[in-house]
């Protein structure tokens, strides 16, 4: 038993949010790069490099969302939802690459004589942190509303940018406050920022791998599905519950046991009722495949 596939109503919202992030990231790259070069701040330049990966990541996120919203077809009967974790994995690898590049360059700058960063670069960083933190909260809210793991990764990508900018801010403050001999504080801040970026890259790569390997969703989701199925009159027992995720959609496979003497037509109707109950209780469920079986042991505990 299957249901037809339609585009989700949140698709437009998710794409608009991704485009908003792309526009902001383009602006941030230009501002931070110019300010870093003119203000002699390697931490700010490193931040601009990280933001340049944000631009590419935003393009990847937008493309991934576009693909994941395609309706199911004969070649991909379960739809294109797996494009989301694939894209998350790409974003994670971009983060890890940026982290390694920034760390390498920061270590090089630490052992090289430097100019102290300009005071006015602090003003630029305060503005960057405010903009990126606001963008993080906006994108995270949309990801929560649409159950999009890709937008959640994109949101934390924006948060990592805010954190690296904050690290650059404190590095510059220390360099300016300490005076001669403390110029490298700016670069130590860049190295710290690289650690934050790398940590987020590993975290997102782990999430993407779990989604691509069809890891079961949260226990409370499974409990809701079982509760809804058990609430349907005529259901004697449940077994072999399997749930996998594609983008924000959940696909459920479930064996339902009913009275052995039940006519085939009634068993078919019961399976439909179970499917409807599950989809009503858990709106994220996109499709349910029910396998009907005869119930043979009244003493067997329900699933």
Do 199 and 270 lie in one domain? The reply is: no
> What residues form DSSP beta bridges with 256?
238, 292
Do 159 and 267 lie in one domain? The reply is: no
Domain boundary among 158, 187, 212: 212
Residue 299 reports pLDDT greater than 60: no
Residue 133 lies in a domain: yes
Residue 301 lies in a domain: no
Do 24 and 140 lie in one domain? The reply is: yes
Choose among 281, 284, 279, 258: nearest CA to 269.
258
The full length of the chain comes to 303
Give the Cα separation of 166 and 15 in Å (integer): 28
| 243 token code pair | 């749930």
Share of the chain above pLDDT 90, in %: 18
Do 143 and 174 lie in one domain? The reply is: yes
Do 64 and 39 lie in one domain? The reply is: yes
Tell me how many domains the chain contains. 2
Residue 6 lies in a domain: no
Do 267 and 197 lie in one domain? The reply is: no
Do 201 and 289 lie in one domain? The reply is: no
Residue 303 lies in a domain: no
Q: What global pTM score does this model have?
A: 0.66
Give the Cα separation of 32 and 40 in Å (integer): 11
Do 55 and 166 lie in one domain? The reply is: yes
Q: What is the mean pLDDT of residues 46-58?
A: 72
* Percent of the chain that is helix, strand, coil (3-state, to 5): 65, 10, 25
Give the Cα separation of 152 and 233 in Å (integer): 39
| 5 token code pair | 């596939």
Give the Cα separation of 254 and 240 in Å (integer): 6
CATH of the domain at 110: 1.20.1510.10
Q: How would DSSP label each residue in 146-214?
A: HT-HHHHHHHHHHHHHHHHHHHHHHHHHHHHHH-TT-TTHHHHHHHHHHHHHHHHHHHHHHHHHHHHTT
**Residue 274 confidence (pLDDT):** 94
Do 166 and 259 lie in one domain? The reply is: no
Write out the residue range of the structural domain in which residue 107 sits. Answer: 11-212
Exposure letters 162-186 (e unless 16+ CB within 10 A, then b): bbbbbbbbbbbbbbbeeeeeebbbb
Which residue has 């330049």 as its token pair?
A: 45
Share of the chain above pLDDT 70, in %: 85
Residue 87 lies in a domain: yes
pLDDT band at 281 (very low <50, low <70, confident <90, very high): very high
CATH of the domain at 268: 3.30.70.1350
Domain boundary among 180, 197, 212: 212
Residue 289 lies in a domain: yes
Residue 300 lies in a domain: no
Exposed, middle or buried, 112 (CB in 10 Å: 0-12/13-18/19+)?
exposed
Which residue has 């982290």 as its token pair?
A: 99
Do 65 and 179 lie in one domain? The reply is: yes
pLDDT band at 171 (very low <50, low <70, confident <90, very high): confident
Do 205 and 283 lie in one domain? The reply is: no
Residue 45 lies in a domain: yes
Contact 187, 110 (CB under 8 A): yes
DSSP state, residue 232? S
The pLDDT mean for the chain works out to 80
Give the Cα separation of 147 and 248 in Å (integer): 5
Domain boundary among 168, 185, 212: 212
**Residue 257 confidence (pLDDT):** 92
Centre a 10 Å sphere on the Cβ of residue 242 and count the other Cβ atoms it contains. Answer: 13
Residue 7 reports pLDDT greater than 90: no
pLDDT band at 228 (very low <50, low <70, confident <90, very high): very high
Do 82 and 172 lie in one domain? The reply is: yes
């Amino acid at each position: 038993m299957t249901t037809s596939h339609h585009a989700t109503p949140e698709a437009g919202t998710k794409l608009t949010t991704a485009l908003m992030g792309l526009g902001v990231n383009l602006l941030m790259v230009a501002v931070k790069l110019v300010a870093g070069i003119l203000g002699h701040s390697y931490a700010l330049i490193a931040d601009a490099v990280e933001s340049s990966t944000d631009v590419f990541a935003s393009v990847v996120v937008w493309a991934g969302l576009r693909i994941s919203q395609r309706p199911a077809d004969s070649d991909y009967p379960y739809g294109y939802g797996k494009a989301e974790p694939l894209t998350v994995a790409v974003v994670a690898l971009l983060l890890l690459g940026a982290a390694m590049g920034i760390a390498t360059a920061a270590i090089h700058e630490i052992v090289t004589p430097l100019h102290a960063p300009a005071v006015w670069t602090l003003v630029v960083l305060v503005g960057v942190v405010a903009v990126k933190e606001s963008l993080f909260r906006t994108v995270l809210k949309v990801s929560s509303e649409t159950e999009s793991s890709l937008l959640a990764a994109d949101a934390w990508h924006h948060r990592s940018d805010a954190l690296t900018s904050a690290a650059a801010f404190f590095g510059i403050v220390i360099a300016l406050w300490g005076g001669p001999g403390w110029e490298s504080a700016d670069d130590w801040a860049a190295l710290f920022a690289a650690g934050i970026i790398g940590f987020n890259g590993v975290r997102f790569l782990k999430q993407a791998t779990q989604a691509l390997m069809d890891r079961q969703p949260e226990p409370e989701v499974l409990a809701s599905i079982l509760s809804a199925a058990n609430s349907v009159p005529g259901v004697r027992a449940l077994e072999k519950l399997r749930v996998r995720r594609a983008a924000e959609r959940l696909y459920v496979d479930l064996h339902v046991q009913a009275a052995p003497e039940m006519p085939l037509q009634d068993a078919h109707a019961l399976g439909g009722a179970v499917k409807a109950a599950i989809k009503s209780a858990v709106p994220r469920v996109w499709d349910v495949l029910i396998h009907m079986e005869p119930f043979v042991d009244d003493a067997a505990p329900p699933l």
